[in-house]
Amino acid sequence: MNIGKFFRADFGSDLAVHNKYSFKERITGYLTLSRPLFLILTPLNAASAAILSIRGLPSWKLCLAGFFTGALAAAGVNIFNRYADRERDKTMWPQRSIPSGRVKAGGALIISVLAYAAALALCWIFFNPTGYFILLAAIILGSLYSTHLRDKVGYLSLPPIEGLIFLCGWACLSPDTVFRTLLPWYLYFLGVVWQTAHIMAHYVLNIRFDAAGKPEIITPLLFSKPSASRVARLTLIFTVLLFIMSILLLWSAKLSWLYIVPVAAYGLFTLYRCQAFWKASLDKENMHHAWSALSTFRLIISAAIILSILIYH
């Protein structure tokens, strides 16, 4: 399986359904449950806030502990999400790991709980109570999103939870300043804006068509179910806001050209992808391009923050 196909499996596509699965196919099922992109993205996002909070690199022991804490927390939330969706996915995403039979639902739940426990244990042992309780809040709210908030409130109940990743990263190394300075909260709202654009780009996959070709929307965006064209327009608007906020971070965080060059360049490319999605909002290929571009843009923002701090400070 190539990398692009592997990540697209997250959407319930590209995985073949069989009566029996090989050991390799079952392992692939478990990996796609965890959403591998976010096993990198979540620790990197938290690390960007943590490194910015002390304007330097902590010990390698803390770096490794932080990476595994973020990755395990992300895996736990993502696997629990797939467990909570197991009945809905039988009709909406039958190729996903649990409804296809690659992974047993009970096994997925056990792995999710173990990942949660391991992430919280690492945070408590290596960091501090402030970071621990922010992580605990993120895990609880992320689980509630899967079981209640998404279907009752809508997809946009997720962004405020996503922003906690940055507050947790900051608090793990600078617990005394997380509630006393503005920069960690700027990072929080940057995360909220990014996740808003990101989840709205995903929204078009929520649309199904009946026998007459009439669109049917399963999950609300925020107490309502707007059309794909309206959501695509909102995706572009929030991507513009994300681009502006990421540029302003250069001055608010006192970063260098190592930050602004890749962020500005890829930000413009992301705007191009989201503009194409706006023009053809029901084209799932455009949606995939916009979603992937937004995912990569967030990776670049966080990586550029880290590089700027480590090389120039």
pTM of the predicted structure, to 2 decimals: 0.92
pLDDT at site 21: 83
Class of domain 1-168: mainly alpha
The per-residue pLDDT for range 102-130, each reduced to its tens digit, is: 889 999 999 999 999 999 999 999 999 99
pLDDT-derived band at 1 (thresholds 50, 70, 90) equals: very low
250 residue type, one letter: L
* pLDDT tens digits along 7-50: 555 555 567 777 788 888 888 888 888 888 888 999 999 999 99
pLDDT digits (tens, 9 = 90+) for 126-157: 999 999 999 999 999 999 999 999 999 999 99
Q: Which residues pair with 217 in a beta bridge?
A: 207
Helices (H) and strands (E) in the chain, counts: 14, 2
CB 71 within 8 A of CB 95: no
Q: Per-domain residue ranges for the chain?
A: 1-168, 182-313
Digit-coded pLDDT (tens) for 255-295:
999 999 999 999 999 999 999 999 998 888 888 899 999 99
Identify the CATH class of 182-313. mainly alpha
